Amino acid sequence: MVSRQAPLCGLAAHCLWFLGVILLMDASARPANHSSTRERAVNREENEILPPDHLNGVKLEMDGHLNKDFHQEVFLGKDMDGFDEDAEPRRSRRKLMVIFSKVDVNTDRRISAKEMQRWIMEKTAEHFQEAVKENKMHFRAVDPDGDGRVSWDEYKVKFLVSKGHSEKEVADAIRNHEELKVDEETQEVLENLRDRWYQADNPPADLLLTEDEFLSFLHPEHSRGMLKFMVKEIIRDLDQDGDKQLSLPEFISLPVGTVENQQGQDIDDSWVKDRRREFEELIDSNHDGTVTMEELENYMDPMNEYNALNEAKQMIAIADENQNQHLEPEEVLKYSEFFTGSKLMDYARNVHEEF
């Protein structure tokens, strides 16, 4: 009996090891995508004075990747946490149907593109309000004397302290005009932040940021000028031929060095497919095969009503199984993962009970 079990145990262990290797290969082959919402929240708290890569309700991340949570953010607003994986399914279904009722303004139990557009604008405004609230707290952290203005040097001290440097040593070095001893990566981040700081400093430029200017520094979506700056940086990073616009191959190309073999390329076919669809259907508004700065800026503007209507139509098309250009309760529940990030099963059986 013992002799029969031993090989089986060995085989099971070998299979588990092999599975682990495959999973590690899968993870390492993927491009640097985005962390989960919960991980982002933790990282945000740790670096609260550092401009975030992820901006709620904005189509692209600061690094030019697609915001994978965008549809959930503009459908749920600040209620993103209400649909965690460990949430009770029945409660989540009921909450989703409450949202459906709020979107369905004319109470005909169908969501039209216009109703979804209005809702998207409302939820985006919620994210704006949350950013303003957070900014007040973060501004106080970098403006301890409360004079309502922060210099670049004051911010630089706070930033380097958040990276583990001694506040006294950094402050002394800046005061004495001495060279700061930081690693190459930190120095590069500082230079990028300084460019962004100067850009957020509204005329007349005094290199001192007010609370409103600091909001633009942290959240470029709140300022047209900073939105332009963000677009220029994304195009600069993705533009391979230097023509200051993006072709489809440039937009869908994977970051250099992220895919080492054909297997990795196959894994990321869906990533490329998503970017291709976004480029062709939404960003390239005149469908000429190239995206200009103006087109990308319009696409990135979270308060652009025309964009919101296009997004509304796309969101409806994803779940519109009966092809009537509207969303019905059964469809929203069936495609709950698209709208909330959570799968809520038994949608057909529960829809009348929950609605």
- The 3-state DSSP class for residue 328 equals coil
Whether residue 33 has pLDDT greater than 60: no
Match 């290969």 to its residue by tokens.
25
Q: How far apart are the first and last CA of the chain?
A: 57
Overall size of the chain counted in residues: 355
Q: Considering only residues 255 and 250, tell me which one the structure prediction assigns the higher pLDDT.
A: 250
Report the pLDDT value the prediction gives residue 240, as an integer from 0 to 100: 94
CA dihedral 223, 156, 59, 237 (to 10 degrees): 110
Amino acid residing at 139: F
Degrees to nearest 5, angle at CA 51 with 46 and 55: 100
Match 């299979």 to its residue by tokens.
15
Tell me the whole-structure pTM to 2 decimals.
0.78
Strand residues in the chain grouped as ranges (E): 150-151, 208-209, 246-247, 290-291
Average pLDDT (18-37) is: 41
Match 């957020």 to its residue by tokens.
200
Match 């054909």 to its residue by tokens.
262
- 208-209 and 150-151 as β-strands: parallel, antiparallel, unpaired? antiparallel
**Are residues 97 and 89 in contact, defined by beta-carbon separation less than 8 angstroms?**
no
pLDDT in tens, 179-200: 888 899 999 999 999 999 999 9
Residue 209, phi then psi, degrees to nearest 5: -95, 130
Structure tokens at 4: 């029969």
Average pLDDT (64-76) is: 93
Instruction: Tell me how far apart the alpha carbons of residues 126 and 131 are, in angstroms, rounded to a whole number.
Output: 9
Structure tokens at 140: 């106080």
**Are residues 210 and 223 in contact, defined by beta-carbon separation less than 8 angstroms?**
no
**Are residues 234 and 296 in contact, defined by beta-carbon separation less than 8 angstroms?**
yes
Instruction: Tell me how far apart the alpha carbons of residues 210 and 98 are, in angstroms, rounded to a whole number.
Output: 40
Question: What is the DSSP secondary structure assignment for residue 66, as one 8-state letter?
Answer: B
b/e 108-129 (16+ beta carbons within 10 angstroms → b): eebbbbebbbbbbbebbebbbe
Amino acid residing at 101: S
Report the pLDDT value the prediction gives residue 345, as an integer from 0 to 100: 59
**Are residues 43 and 35 in contact, defined by beta-carbon separation less than 8 angstroms?**
yes
pLDDT in tens, 322-347: 999 999 999 999 999 999 988 775 54
pLDDT in tens, 6-17: 444 444 444 444
pLDDT in tens, 215-249: 999 999 999 999 999 999 999 999 999 999 999 99
Amino acid residing at 98: V
- The 3-state DSSP class for residue 111 equals strand
